[in-house]
Structure 1
């Protein structure tokens, strides 16, 4: 089923990430971590869609999306970057592979953090954020999505690592087996992974090699960072 909606507000939250707030269709429910396919309601774009994750709270009156913009792709995200309040989108029904299973570590690359936004906000709203950890890799500090919000969540442990900013006080380098062996003490916990397909595959393999249990690894790939 499709759901035409009106955009209520837009905002730029990093140099290449937008936040869209849209009206919520009656009875439209989603699970934190899940997504929907989004169509831009403009002539010539009706048959083009992309998956975007819900990033607001499940009981909020409106729906929220946090979307990385790729202007060089001449595609859906470039069109979304041009939208304003009053413009229209069409949403499909919700779907998803990222479900919260229990306390653990969230490992994200770039825009791969988006499925975790609603989950961590939901846990924080319920005063259940304590004991969770976010390991988040980006090219530079300016690319870190919602850093101030993560840092303000009392009880959430954060570890940022950057690949292209060696002068940063944060950890430097990619997340790989060596990095995980140095920064994760307990592999008998839940792990949540999201990012580009190769990143997810590499991290999953590294975690299994280090002793993580396959049934405690939740992942979604294809989220380009």
Structure 2
């Protein structure tokens, strides 16, 4: 089902990630970790849609999306970068299979953190965030999305890694077999993985080789 909603606010939270808050239609329900398809409500764009994850709590009075902008692709995110409060987007029904199933490790790359934002915010509300650990990799310090909030939610359990910056206050290792073998202490817990497709495939393969069971790997299939 399609719904036309107005943008309530739009602001950049990093140099290339913009956070949108939209009107929430009455009766619209989603679960933390789910996504929807959004279109820009203007000629030539209303029929084109991309998936984006809800990043607000499920009972929030508005709908929030935290979206990385790719102007070089000349697609929907570039169009979204041109919109402001009062402009309209087209919202569709929620979908997705990333949901919290129990304590474990969240492993994210770049914009792959977005499905985890609503989940971690919900866990914080329930007092359960400290039962989990986050490994979040980016190219540079400036690419980390909502670093301050993630640290506030998880404390020392938020572990950032940087791969393309010579000097950084963060870990400069890649999330590879050596990293996971060193940092993960319990392979019987759940693993939540999101990022570029090659990263998801690689991390899942490594986790399986280190003893993680397939039923404990949670990712968008």
1:218 aligned partner:
218
* Pairwise CA distance, 1:153: 1.5
Aligned to 2:124: 124
Alignment partner of 2:149: what SS?
Answer: helix
Question: 1:85 matched to which residue of 2?
Answer: 85
Q: Which runs of 5+ in 2 are unaligned?
A: none
Structure 2 equivalent of residue 48 of structure 1: 48
SS in 1 for 2:45: coil
Could you tell me how far 1:173 is from its partner in structure 2? Answer: 2.7
Is 2:37–2:92's contact at 8 Å kept on the other side of the alignment? yes
Q: Does 1:99 align with 2:99?
A: yes
Secondary structure in structure 2 of the residue aligned to 1:85: coil
Q: Supply the distance in 2 between the matched residues of 1:205 and 1:126 (Cα, whole angstroms).
A: 32
What whole-Å deviation, never above 9, does each CA across 1:140-168 have from its counterpart, x for those lacking one?
A: 10000010001111566111111111311
TM-score, with structure 1 as normaliser: 0.96
Structure richer in helix, relative to its length: 2
Q: Distance in 1 between matches of 2:192 and 2:73?
A: 28
4+ residue stretches of structure 1 with deviation over 6 A?
A: none
Per-residue CA distance 1:9-41 (angstroms, 9 max, x = gap): 001000000000000011000010000000100
Q: Which residue of 1 aligns with 2:142?
A: 142
- Give the aligned partner of residue 176 of structure 2: 176
SS at match of 2:32: coil
Which residue number in structure 1 is paired with residue 113 of structure 2?
Answer: 113
RMSD over aligned Cα atoms: 1.1
Q: Alignment partner of 2:18: what SS?
A: strand
Secondary structure of the residue aligned to 1:130 is helix
TM, length-normalised to structure 2? 0.98
Give the match's secondary structure for 2:7.
strand
How many correspondences in the alignment? 221
Secondary structure of 2:36's partner?
strand
Whole-angstrom distance in 2 between the partners of 1:22 and 1:193: 27
Residue 169 of structure 1: how far off its partner (Å): 2.5
